[in-house]
Amino acid sequence: MSIFIRLNANRILLSLAFLSFWACQEDSGSPQELADAGAEVMIADMEPLDQAGELVNEQCVPDADGTEIALAFLDQYCGMCHQDPPQFGAPYALSDLETMLDGAEGLRPLDRSFTRLIEGTMPPAGQPQPSHEEAQAFIDWASCNSGLQRMPDIGGFEVSKPLYRGPMAPPENAEVLEMLVPSVTVASDVDDQYNCFSFLGPSQGESDRSILRIEPVIDDARVVHHIVLYEADGPVDNQVASDCGAGLGAGVYAWAPGQSALHFNEGGLITRQGQNYIIEIHYNNQASYDDVSDKSGVRLYHSSLVEPQIDMVTIGPEGFRLPARSRTEVGGQCVVEEEFTVLAMMPHMHEIGKSLQSTIIRADESEEDLITLNGWDFNYQLIYDAQNTSLSVGDRIQTYCIFENPDNRDRRYGPYTQDEMCYNFIYVTPPPSTKRCDEPIDEPVAYEPGECGPSEAATYSEAIIGTYKEGEPVALEGGQLVSGQYRLTELEVWFDSFDLGIAIVDDMLSYYDAQGAFAYYDDGRFELDMQGMAYLTSLQGAEFVREISLSLGGTLTTMMESNELQVQLTCPNTGETTLAYQANEDRLTIYLPFNDVVSGTQMMVFERVNQ
């Protein structure tokens, strides 16, 4: 069985971390790395080295004759962030020679600038890059012709598709909604701070609307590092502080320095009736400003529905684990069940991602590249042009990510920066019926019903992913049970509490991989079957895998007064029991209580297949 997991799209798409951009930030290491170093930021690796690897100790003051050309170089390739005053979290300006010479040798802004250039880590991957000749000329000047050479491989960032570019000007005759956070303060000693606020969307009336353009509104550009706009998963209050790890639905838009507005050449992004939003802003105050008060956000241009209607679909695997000190590839596939056209896409991984590839496999097994991105840089993530790629029913999109985990601990799929993701967010038209599309790439193990199950179940049953829930499921309301063949479509296991005594359930990594069927006949006979595997992971890291096999047969009597089924079992054994149920035309829900090590309720939902 595959261990790739499909979670409900509304559970979490992105608690993003969806896009934790670091384009202008100095590399200060992960929180764990800082903790391991006693919270001392070691910057010796930024000091200039001579060709033998020794520190350059002589005080270097570059030739004044080359200053004008050097400053023009810095303005072109570094000026967006390292201007005066520094913007988007950059710790210092690179706009005049006197400022760049301030500090101890090896730690001056000038020394850091050409050292990062030699390493190939600045400008960030994805930003305009200088030619080798331009870079070497600046290095020669800044290092007083020390003979230092730029690494020939500058970053290794390669992507197979161009950036998506829409209209520059806002649309005419559109309504405008600004979602601006209330005044946010960032202390002078805080490098990184995340703030989230909820907002009512533009579709508060009785109809859906189209978002024609999303653009950033940057208030205090000195410290605003990135902005992410999510759909809210449920009702919210307007302009109210929100938990950055809860209530997040699909990611809609992300901005970082250098990212333009999202404005499609035709049509608009659908925002459905009552849809609300959450804005996450990442602040970076490495420059230690003491007067930060920010009211940034986004500006939406919207109108009544226009064609073509566009929506975002998330493809890529979930539920994976990345072993310590290893290179791991994970993958999943989206099987196209409705025709649509991909207009744009936004790949996303976290810190230890190395590459992402989405490949289209047509129904005739021919292959096309949707996007290939090598040399992944967590510091820079963009929206790419899919060039109106059309997908037909039966096509598949296979998405693979490669990770290199250098740590002595495993990493896992999850919403936070220290976790990992492998997503390709695709903007498509027309909007499909689901915003999440992923299933295992490997062929599933053939389903064979148990001895009491419906004999034809293998011909119509489909593999599903079941989830674990905490609390008590809603009461069922009975109803008239209709005879026919049913396939299992939903499976949930409910515990009163995820604290089982022996372990605490990690519901993000725990799931069922199952297939099942139910048959009910006019004479009252029934057959019920489910086969699969249960994967349970605890927050402590322990993993439990157990084969699940349930196969029952007998007769049913509906008890309308109590909303229960009176069950007379004849297979595999005889006996009597009652089960809560709810029947609604072609849909049947049954609750099966269990008490095996721990107790709970298994909710099984079936849908009739032979109308």
Tokens of 566: 């009176």
Question: According to the model, what pLDDT value does residue 558 have?
Answer: 83
Question: According to the model, what pLDDT value does residue 417 have?
Answer: 67
Express each pLDDT in 12-33 by its tens digit.
222 223 233 333 444 433 333 3
The phi and psi torsions of 374 (rounded to 5 degrees) equal: -110, 155
Question: According to the model, what pLDDT value does residue 597 have?
Answer: 64
Question: According to the model, what pLDDT value does residue 150 have?
Answer: 57
**For residues 38-42, average pLDDT:** 27
Question: According to the model, what pLDDT value does residue 541 have?
Answer: 67
Residue identified by tokens 């209209």 is 167
| Whether residue 404 has pLDDT greater than 50 | yes
Express each pLDDT in 80-116 by its tens digit.
888 888 887 788 888 888 888 888 877 888 888 888 7
Beta bridge partners of 536: 544
| Whether residue 211 has pLDDT greater than 80 | yes
Say if residue 525 is in the same domain as residue 568: yes
Cα 508 from Cα 392, distance rounded (Å)? 32
Instruction: Tell which wins on pLDDT, 52 or 527.
Output: 527
**Is there a domain that residue 9 lies in?**
no
Question: According to the model, what pLDDT value does residue 351 have?
Answer: 83
Say if residue 509 is in the same domain as residue 550: yes
Final residue belonging to a domain, choices 307, 324, 339: 307
pLDDT class of 120 with cuts at 50, 70, 90: low
| Whether residue 519 has pLDDT greater than 80 | yes
**Is there a domain that residue 257 lies in?**
yes
Q: Which of 21-25, 209-213, 453-457 has maximum average pLDDT?
A: 209-213
pLDDT class of 590 with cuts at 50, 70, 90: very high
pLDDT class of 373 with cuts at 50, 70, 90: very high
Say if residue 461 is in the same domain as residue 604: yes
Say if residue 197 is in the same domain as residue 231: yes
Express each pLDDT in 48-71 by its tens digit.
344 333 334 457 888 888 888 889
Tokens of 207: 């109809």
CATH code for the domain of 498: 2.40.128
Instruction: Tell which wins on pLDDT, 211 or 127.
Output: 211
Instruction: Tell which wins on pLDDT, 126 or 441.
Output: 441
> What is the pLDDT of the chain when averaged over all its residues?
82
Question: According to the model, what pLDDT value does residue 198 have?
Answer: 93
Question: According to the model, what pLDDT value does residue 27 have?
Answer: 42
| Whether residue 398 has pLDDT greater than 80 | yes
Instruction: Tell which wins on pLDDT, 126 or 403.
Output: 403
Question: According to the model, what pLDDT value does residue 313 have?
Answer: 92
| Whether residue 465 has pLDDT greater than 80 | yes
Question: According to the model, what pLDDT value does residue 19 have?
Answer: 30
**Is there a domain that residue 322 lies in?**
yes
**For residues 402-416, average pLDDT:** 86
Express each pLDDT in 536-572 by its tens digit.
887 766 677 788 889 999 999 888 778 899 999 999 9
CATH code for the domain of 399: 2.60.120.230
543 close to 530: Cβ distance less than 8 angstroms? no
Cα 116 from Cα 134, distance rounded (Å)? 15
Cα 237 from Cα 414, distance rounded (Å)? 26
Final residue belonging to a domain, choices 379, 405, 437: 437
Burial class (CB in 10 A: 0-12, 13-18, 19+), 381: buried
Say if residue 94 is in the same domain as residue 194: no
Q: Which of 175-184, 457-466, 475-484 has maximum average pLDDT?
A: 175-184
Say if residue 274 is in the same domain as residue 318: no
Say if residue 265 is in the same domain as residue 226: yes
281 close to 194: Cβ distance less than 8 angstroms? yes
Say if residue 507 is in the same domain as residue 571: yes
- Lowest average pLDDT, out of 90-104, 433-447, 465-479, 483-497, goes to 433-447
| Whether residue 36 has pLDDT greater than 50 | no
Taken in order 307, 228, 14, 394, the sign of the CA dihedral is positive
Instruction: Tell which wins on pLDDT, 109 or 414.
Output: 109
Say if residue 474 is in the same domain as residue 487: yes
At 457, is the secondary structure helix, strand, or coil?
A: helix
Question: According to the model, what pLDDT value does residue 531 have?
Answer: 92
At 138, is the secondary structure helix, strand, or coil?
A: helix
Question: According to the model, what pLDDT value does residue 445 have?
Answer: 64
Say if residue 213 is in the same domain as residue 353: no
Question: According to the model, what pLDDT value does residue 443 have?
Answer: 62
Final residue belonging to a domain, choices 261, 279, 307: 307
Residue 265 identity (one-letter amino acid): N
**Is there a domain that residue 451 lies in?**
no
**Is there a domain that residue 604 lies in?**
yes
Question: According to the model, what pLDDT value does residue 508 have?
Answer: 77
138 close to 73: Cβ distance less than 8 angstroms? yes
CATH code for the domain of 288: 2.60.120.310
Question: According to the model, what pLDDT value does residue 122 have?
Answer: 77
Enclosing domain of residue 97: 49-147
pLDDT class of 248 with cuts at 50, 70, 90: low
Question: According to the model, what pLDDT value does residue 25 have?
Answer: 44
Say if residue 487 is in the same domain as residue 508: yes
Question: According to the model, what pLDDT value does residue 8 have?
Answer: 30
Percent of the chain predicted with pLDDT > 90: 42
**Is there a domain that residue 191 lies in?**
yes
- Lowest average pLDDT, out of 224-228, 379-383, 448-452, 591-595, goes to 379-383
Instruction: Tell which wins on pLDDT, 463 or 509.
Output: 463
| Whether residue 406 has pLDDT greater than 60 | yes
**Is there a domain that residue 133 lies in?**
yes
Percent of the chain predicted with pLDDT > 70: 84
404 close to 149: Cβ distance less than 8 angstroms? no
**Is there a domain that residue 256 lies in?**
yes
| Whether residue 370 has pLDDT greater than 50 | yes
DSSP 325-372: TEEEEEEEEEE--S-EEEEEEEEE--TTEEEEEEEEE-TTS-EEEEEE
What's the number of domains the chain is made of? 4
- Lowest average pLDDT, out of 139-153, 237-251, 419-433, goes to 139-153
Say if residue 419 is in the same domain as residue 406: yes
| Whether residue 611 has pLDDT greater than 90 | no
Question: According to the model, what pLDDT value does residue 547 have?
Answer: 83
Question: According to the model, what pLDDT value does residue 158 have?
Answer: 81
**For residues 362-391, average pLDDT:** 89
